[in-house]
Amino acid sequence: MSKNLFNRINTILVTGGLGFIGSYYIKNILEKTNIKIINIDKDGYASNKEFINETIEKISLHKSNRYIHLATDLIDFEKINKIISESKPDMIVHFAAESHVDRSIDSPRIFLENNILGTFNLLEATRIFYGNLSNEDKTHFKFHHISTDEVYGSLGKNGTFNENTPYKPRSPYSATKASSDHLVNSWFHTYGIPIIISNCSNNFGPWQFPEKFIPVVILKALKKESIPIYGKGSNVRDWLFVEDHINALLKIESFGKIGEGYCIGGESEISNYKLVLKIFDIINQIKGENYDYSSLIEFVSDRPGHDFRYAIDSSKVKREIGWKLEYSLENGLIKTINWYINNIDWCNKIMKKSGYQGERIGKLN
């Protein structure tokens, strides 16, 4: 971790820190620095306190005030404004977002409110706070907005996304994330807020909420349940192990240029069908079995507006920031699958809490 930034920081305000990626970010900050974390997370259906609590216990922070969780919704501007004003963060890292495409098909208004209005409220509170900082403090302050490659739309068989790719979102989720990106950029150009934006490919790893594709496949395979695959499974995704993503974020915050965007990819393009077969092979290897998991596959009607392919060109973040991947798709999947095999109880508990039991969502009828 870079000392030239994080040694100057006393407090980071994180939004969505009980989510999958946000919780990994907080874990890294708590373990590797003495920085205080203020975590604004409304504690929604997919929120997970156990991962951070495990970290706090591991490094004996349970009696410290270095980590504070505030169960506040970004929709509430007055509370957000008060929290930022009182906590006086040196950096704001904005993970909070509704992020599941299928849920955005069912309930687009929730995505509009959280991803667009929530980001607007955060930016406005930041603008007020930043305007009251001394000139010296302004030079150290940053607002890092975490986004997705889905804002760029769908690729054909060739080409990759990069920082200059035009935005062409095709789902309610990606449209609201694209809107939040544009808001963040406009607060930089109009109000001078020192922002950085990063857009990542599909993340995976231990502790991911079980509605996401890889956990769904793993858990249904372990339970010998039918595994639904959209269309013919030909849609292609670029998979990024979550720990590689966090390493990129920390480097971007240390060395990234204000007002710039950075694309972070896993360089692991694979079709959904081939990914599922790879997961089956690894499960059999880990369990020492030879079960025909492919018999569980059920091809189902495709998702409405399903993007065909995503792929990211990460050359800018490698060249300018010095980031590199540490995990291959294979190694990341082995670590992830082992974790889910050993943590079925957590999966069952969080699914029960959320009311989600593995059913398909996002159908129009």
Q: What is the pTM of this model?
A: 0.94
Instruction: Indicate if 326 belongs to the active site.
Output: no
Q: Would you place residue 359 in the very low, low, confident or very high pLDDT band (cuts 50, 70, 90)?
A: low
Instruction: Indicate if 150 belongs to the active site.
Output: yes
Catalytic residue among 41, 149, 244, 253: 149
Fold of the domain built from segment(s) 3-208+239-268+310-328: Rossmann fold (3.40.50)
* Summary mean pLDDT of the chain: 93
Q: What is the mean pLDDT of residues 182-206?
A: 98
Q: How far apart are the first and last CA of the chain?
A: 49
Catalytic residue among 90, 98, 150, 243: 150
Environment class of 1 (CB within 10 Å of its CB; exposed 0-12, middle 13-18, buried 19+): middle
Instruction: Indicate if 45 belongs to the active site.
Output: no
Does residue 100 have a pLDDT over 80? no
Q: Which residues contact 85 (CB under 8 A, 6 or more apart)?
A: 125, 128, 129
Q: What are phi and psi of 288, to 5 degrees?
A: 65, 35
Catalytic residue among 173, 262, 273, 327: 173
pLDDT digits (tens, 9 = 90+) for 126-174: 999 999 999 999 999 999 999 999 999 999 999 999 999 999 999 999 9
Strands 11-15 and 142-148: unpaired
DSSP per-residue codes, 52-64: HHHHHHHTT-TT-
